[in-house]
Amino acid sequence: MRFVNNSVEDLKIAYVGGGSRGWAWGLMSDLAQESHMSGDVYLYDIDYLAAKNNEIIGNKIRGNFKYHATETIDKALLNANFVIISILPGTLDEMESDVHTPEKFGIYQSVGDSTGLGGNVRGLRTLPMFQEFAKAIEKNCPDAWVINYTNPMTMCVRMLYETFPKIKAFGCCHEVFGTQNLLKNILENKLNVGEINRSDIKVEVTGINHFTWLTKAQYRNIDIYPLFKEYAEEILLKEVSEDDHSGDNWINKLFKTSNKVKCDLFLRYGKIAAAGDRHLSEFCPNNWYLGCPENVDKWAFALTPVSFRKQELDERLKKSEDLISGKLDFQINPTGEEGVAQIKAILGLGDLTTNVNLPNMGQIPNIPLGAVVETNAFFSANNVSPIFAGDIPCDILGLIEPVVCCQETMIKAAKNRDLKLAFKAFLGDPQNILNIEQSKELFMLMLKNTEKYLSMYELDNFKL
């Protein structure tokens, strides 16, 4: 890496999970639009072919970066300046077990990848991988900045620091951006302010990933809170229409939300929850918004089935082929993600303040130190400093604290390969409404279903 005027040349970016057909293409698109940086992107994936295909796709794009698939993670990481981690831990078959096995015991999950029973088992197989990543980073590029996009976000970032305490890692998630866009729309609709940029909606962010809260939302001299209160009351009165439930765009249906959960939470807690309803519901008492499919319908959001994700993956594989064959041209569009802006800020090419996931050093004093939290942070040259967020309001803390505790326990369990301790976390998860015996049965079943990716645990001899 070297600075030439106001540009950085010869930057080295490593991409772990570089065979991805989602986030990887997004990065390619954002890098292609960037004129002040150039260099190389090394794509590592356990599916080498997928990485190789992305190398081909990436190098078809006219831009300042060259793409290289690597066969080992060491090769990708060696002397990297930045590392991006975005993997699918296991396959969608494992995710299917995470999300749908609990349904047999009456527990429904709308996403199932960050918290709750699915999130916990996903964590169990993901965390040993992140230990490996952290060790490889310590060996190959200890000074690199590491950006994680993988879920369960909180646990993944936590494990990076647990394994290599001096790592310079943070986790990124766009759920807050979505809420900023919602606020932007409310503002544009309710007041005559003209068109606004998302980034002009200034928010104070606090909480944990996928259960973040905006304790302040401001546009210039306008406090957005009173507007959101009006909006919340309107939304909760609105009947759930046919449009919300059907239509030919069944894809949207599976990801849709009406924001009713967000609005109900606002009336309960007086604060704006800043993630989609599908995520938020998984952090609340199970019977509030989830409970059963009928209740989910009532709250007008969706239980996203993994079968859909499988179908979508097929389409992306098809698209990948077409991009390689040239049947399809790669479209360069801004993704709305901030990864590239963050990289530039860290290089000293312009400060940035945005929300990220970092270990709690005290930015939220009433969350245990070390647990990963999501707040705003200030990005400048070789630096990401959390902005002080203060105590989480105590009623909201009552929902967050048990999740933090469960995840902290899961970290220890994964680190020590201790399935008994993992069960303790699973049993104590606030989404777990089963008794001890049922919990044991479900846990064993979910482990069995995903055992292919649990070989680092001594599953064979494990009994509860």
Q: Just list the catalytic residues.
A: 174
My answer on whether omega of the bond before 142 falls inside 30° of 0, hence cis, is no
If binding is defined by CB under 8 A, does position 3 make contact with a second copy? Answer: yes
If binding is defined by CB under 8 A, does position 416 make contact with a second copy? Answer: no
Residue 317 or 436: the one with the smaller Cβ distance to a second copy is 436
| Residues 283 to 312 in contact with a second copy, rule: CB under 8 A | 285, 287-288
| Residues 321 to 360 in contact with a second copy, rule: CB under 8 A | 347-348, 351, 353
d(CA 332, CA 345): 22
The position carrying tokens 């000293």 is: 348
Residue 288 or 330: the one with the smaller Cβ distance to a second copy is 288
Question: CB pairs under 8 A, 24+ apart, for 382-387?
Answer: 382/346, 382/348, 383/346, 384/145, 384/168, 384/170, 384/346, 384/356, 384/358, 386/358, 386/361, 387/204, 387/353, 387/363
Least Cβ distance, residue 116 to a second copy (angstroms): 14
Stretch that binds a second copy, among 60-68, 200-208, 246-254, 441-449 (CB under 8 A): 200-208
Residue 151 or 375: the one with the smaller Cβ distance to a second copy is 375
Which H helix or E strand runs over 435?
Answer: none
d(CA 39, CA 79): 13
Stretch that binds a second copy, among 120-128, 311-319, 326-334, 421-429 (CB under 8 A): 421-429
Stretch that binds a second copy, among 16-24, 115-123, 322-330, 394-402 (CB under 8 A): 394-402
Residue 133 or 289: the one with the smaller Cβ distance to a second copy is 289
Q: How many CB atoms lie within 10 A of CB 110?
A: 26
If binding is defined by CB under 8 A, does position 405 make contact with a second copy? Answer: yes
| Residues 51 to 110 in contact with a second copy, rule: CB under 8 A | none
Backbone angles phi, psi at 391, to 5 degrees: -65, 140
d(CA 120, CA 282): 12
If binding is defined by CB under 8 A, does position 230 make contact with a second copy? Answer: no
Q: Which of 349, 86, 355 is nearest to 206 (CA)?
A: 355
d(CA 327, CA 415): 46
Least Cβ distance, residue 13 to a second copy (angstroms): 15
| Residues 243 to 272 in contact with a second copy, rule: CB under 8 A | 264, 267-270
If binding is defined by CB under 8 A, does position 361 make contact with a second copy? Answer: yes
Residue 22 or 402: the one with the smaller Cβ distance to a second copy is 402
Least Cβ distance, residue 302 to a second copy (angstroms): 20
d(CA 440, CA 446): 10
Length of the chain: 464
d(CA 339, CA 360): 21
If binding is defined by CB under 8 A, does position 10 make contact with a second copy? Answer: no
What's CA 188's distance to the chain center, in Å?
A: 28
Least Cβ distance, residue 62 to a second copy (angstroms): 27
Q: Which of 61, 235, 328, 397 binds a second copy (CB under 8 A)?
A: 397
Residue 43 or 345: the one with the smaller Cβ distance to a second copy is 345
Q: Which of 140, 156, 155 is nearest to 14 (CA)?
A: 140
Side chain identity at residue 387, one-letter code: I
Residues that bind a second copy (CB under 8 A): 1, 3, 200, 202, 204, 216, 218-221, 223, 264, 267-270, 285, 287-288, 347-348, 351, 353, 361-363, 365-366, 368, 376, 378, 380-383, 385-388, 390, 394-395, 397-399, 401-402, 404-406, 408-409, 424, 427-428, 430, 433, 435-436
